[in-house]
Amino acid sequence: MIIGTLIIKIHTPWVHSLKEKRMVVKSLCAKVKNKFNVSIAEVDEQDIHQITVLGLTCTSGETSQADSILDHVINFIEGNTEGEIIETRREIIQV
């Protein structure tokens, strides 16, 4: 079994409250979950309005498939948010 993990840090300069941030995060997480069947959640920087850090995992039978899923998620997030992805960290683990 292969486990793919991804941390994505997104800068959202138009967000000025935690309520706005929560709306953006919930919407984006729901879209990603529904489209790619991955686990995703906000994992860090919860108290900073303009920075969102999302963590996600996927499981697969092959390394290339897990890597492909993570690539597609990054592209999807870039296309579905006005925020700028400022950092990504990816790890593929064989269990």
Give the contacts of 43 (CB within 8 A, at least 6 positions apart). 7, 53, 54, 55
pLDDT at residue 92 above 90? yes
Report the alpha-carbon distance of residue 76 to residue 34 in Å, rounded.
12
pLDDT score at 11? 93
Q: Which CATH class is domain 2-6+17-94?
A: alpha beta
Query: What pTM was computed for the model?
Result: 0.84
15-58, pLDDT tens digit by residue?
888 888 899 899 999 999 999 999 999 998 878 889 999 999 99
